[in-house]
Structure 1
Amino acid sequence: MRMTKVLAASLLVATVGTPALAGEKVSGADIAIPEAPEGTGQIVFFRPGGTGFALGCSVNENGEKISSLGAGRYFVLRTTPGRHEFTVKSEAKDVLALEVEEGETQFAKCKIKMGIMVGRPDLSPAKEDEFRGMKSVKLVDADDMGPAPGALRPEEMGVAATAEAAAE
Structure 2
Amino acid sequence: MFRTVKDFIEDYKVESQGTQKLLDLLTDESLTQSIEEGRRPLGRLAWHLIHDDSGMLRRIGLDFKAPATHAEPPQSAAVIAATYRETAASILEAASQWSDEKLLESHNLFGLEWQNGVTLSKFIKHEVHHRGQLTMLMRQAGLPVAGVYGPSKEEWEQMGMTAPK
Scaled by the length of structure 2, what TM-score is found? 0.28
Greater radius of gyration (CA): 2
More helix by share: 2
